[in-house]
Every structure is written in structure tokens, then in C-alpha cells.
Amino acid sequence: MSLSVLIRRGWLSLLLVAVLALTPTTAPLVAQSSDNARYAAIVVDAESGEVLFQRYADNRRFPASITKVMTLYLTFEALSEGKIKLDDVLTVSSHAASQPPSKLGLGAGQTISLDNAMRATAVRSANDMAVAIAEHVGGSESRFAARMTAKARELGMTQTQYVNANGLPDSRQITTARDLAVLARAVMRDYPQYYRYFGLHDWAYNGRDYRNTNGLLRAGNGYDGMKTGYTNASGYNLAASSVRDGKRLITIVLGGRTTASRNAHVAALMDTGFDVERARARGETIQIAQTFFESRGFGVGQELPGGVEYASAATEDAADEGVAYTAVVASQPQPLRVTPAPSEVRAAAPVQRAEVRTTADLTATLNGGNAPARAAPPPARPAARPPARTPAGAWSVQVGAFRDETVASNWLTEVNRRFRTQFASAERTVQNAEGWYRSRFTGMSEQAAQGACAALAERRVTCMVIRPQG
């Protein structure tokens, strides 16, 4: 299979609760794949350090260019200690010049100021400039890498090891999502005066304009910095930070399939984290934030009854490998107040087929409304009339729900591009439901909707079939 085909395969971020319509004996669907060796995520309150959500946060991963956060951390340290200055002139060595892209492309012997080299590293993710900085600060890249590992231990990054300054592939260079969150907090805490480098939207140098590889910086919503990364082995990585209502959160996602879907996953995790913070500010008791995230469909959920059909439980996000997760069974509507004991969280509720539940909640809103009501059993007399036939062309397929309308629209376009055959006769629409923008294909027959969702499931793209209303 060609690399281009593999790159087009993605995994939609866990923005929805992926479920199957259950019978009393149905167990959660487990979508296992060897590809899930790359995904990891964590959401952290930057001030308190509280972990709001984590998934594989302590499993070792490849950092790729997020490595450069540590490279710049040590540079900030040297600047604050007066060992180097922003206007220092760096001479590019042959070793630095030989680094593969992405790079600024200066030749051996050419010069650049330290300030511009730092900007190139943060904005352009220039591998050559990261090495040039390492040589300037540490004497050689190898000595600098040893200092990077030592600093990681000092900061409490117990699972991280560095062997180069730019994150280019090396099986010895490893980290975890938790360690990267520790590093992100350390940058903000120790060198707030230099954190701005990670938030530069663009940078002009030698007549060229360079745009930051972190597209979320241009999305608003308080995003103000951190770093992207990608190699074939790592997938698409992103460390992001956002400030809203006076609160700062840090989100790390590793192992994404594409830039767009990785960004969407980070945005969804970040939105959910801020929902937790806002709920607490209103006096809501949320003792275990992880449970709140799980009620939104992130991570592994509990087995509970449900009435909405979903196709798949994978996320969407990488280059040549995929990441699959355990599907979460649809829960009954849960209140914003999430304070059950651990045993209660995992307990399966009984299936009550005659009961119609109509309580609106966050999960129902995310999934497009309340779970469809099930008709009560017909009385013995008179006999129940046959159900009304659903008009053809009134079914829909939902492929995502996002806080950002642009993200929702872009994802709808991407799914349509990849599944043109399945949605050839459908209309694309982004529907706003209480601040959630739902990406939907509408105007489909039941057979077409079910078939399209099945096709998406085979490619590990999450979707759900929406029956006509009324």
C-alpha cells in the first residue's frame, strides 16, 4: 500500500460517544488494532497541575519536533543566566546545515542571530536551527542532548530521553504525554518572559514570511502557544495551551493521523476541559474530571444501555498508521454534576425497553439531541397499529461534533472527499446545537445512511446514523 494512501487514512478524535444499540446481553464493542501503539493524550490544569484527562499518558512515545520545546527551554535558561544573548551571532556548522527538512536552509558558514534561530525553531520547526542553537549553547549537539536528558530528570520527566536537539527519528529518543505536560508547565512557570516564542503566528526572515506550524494559534479560543511535531514513527503530535476565563489548560496529543483531525481532537479535549473548569466555577462538584470526559465519549467508558447507533469507536488522525480505541456504550443522560464512586461509574445500568428517557444533558447534546424514545409495548387489546413508515431521504449521518464551526466544516469536507461514493447524493450541513457544531450528511435514505456509516466504520472513522425526527 502506497504512503499517500496510508497518509489519507485518519482517525477522528474521540468527540462522540461511540455506541451500538444494545440488548441485555450485548457487551461493549472493542475495536482493537496494532496501530494504537502511537496514540496518547493528557489534559492538565496549568496552574494546579491537576490532570483532568489522560489516555495512555505514561506510555512511551516518540516526541518528534516537540523535542524543540526542551531545546528552547535550555536556551531560555542560558539566556536568563546571562551565558548567551539574543543578539549572539551563530555560525551554521556543516552538521547543522546537513539536517533534513523542515529547515531554514542556511549553508555551512552562514550566520544568523540567536533570536532569529529561536524564531525559526519555534515557528518554522527548523531542524537545522535547533542544532545550531544546541551547538551554540552546549558546544556540540551530543553534549547538549545529554543536558536535555539531565534537565528532563530534574523537572520530573522520568520517562524521557533525548539524543538529538530537533526530534528527528531515533528509537532512543522517547517521552510520554505526561512528561511533555510537565515540560510545558515548566516553560510557563520558569521562563514566562520567553514563552511568547511558542505563540508567534508568523515570522519574516530574508524576504520570506513563515507561518507557524501550529494552526490552532489562528483559531482564536485563547490558544497562545506550544509546539507541533511529526515523523512517520510518531504520527502527528501537538502540545497546545489555551487561556479562557482566567484559566489555562495544557493539552498534549500524540500519534495523530492528520494535521486537521489532530487539531480537532486537541480542540475537543480542550473545550471539554474548559467545560469542567466553568462548571466548577459555578459551584458544581466535579471530583473526578476524567469521568466528565468519559461522559463526553473520551477514553474508555462504562457499559450502559443506549438507543442510538454508531458505526465505529476509533479516532481519526495520522500519517501511515492508525489508532483504535475501545468503543463506549451510550449512557443514559448524566447531569453536569459528576460525583459517583468508582464502582458506580463502571456499573452497567439495566436495560428498560419500555422506558422513555427525555432528560437533556451534555452527552445527548453532543450526540445531536436526546436518545430516541422507544415505544412502549402495545397493550393486549386493542392490537397496536403498525408503526408509520419513515419517508425516504430523511435520514442523516453525523461524523463529528465540534466547538469550532470552521473545524466542523473542514472535517465535513474532508470526510466527503474520502467517501465521495457513499455521500454522492447527500447534502452537507453544519448544525449548531447549543454551541456544538454538528457535521452531518443529510437527505439520505435509511439504507444509504446505514451503508455509508458501515463504510466509514471499516476505515475506523466514527459516525452515527440519525433517524428522522418526528
Active-site positions? 65, 68, 125
**CA neighbor of 92 nearest in space, from 129, 138, 137, 141:** 129
Strands (E), 260-384: none
* Cβ atoms 170, 100 nearer than 8 A: no
Q: How far apart are CA 268 and CA 221, in angstroms?
A: 12
**CA neighbor of 45 nearest in space, from 192, 198, 243, 219:** 243
3-state SS, residue 411: helix
Q: How far apart are CA 159 and CA 144, in angstroms?
A: 18
* Cβ atoms 31, 93 nearer than 8 A: no
Look up residue 287 and give its DSSP letter: S
Cα angle 231, 233, 237; round to 5: 55
> What is the grid cell recorded at 357?
428517557
**CA neighbor of 324 nearest in space, from 33, 18, 9, 30:** 33
* Cβ atoms 236, 213 nearer than 8 A: no
Which alpha helices (DSSP H) does 305-440 contain, by range?
A: 342-346, 362-366, 405-418
**Interhelix angle for 141-155 vs 67-80, to 10°?**
90
Strands (E), 341-463: 395-402, 427-433, 436-444
Q: How far apart are CA 38 and CA 14, in angstroms?
A: 15
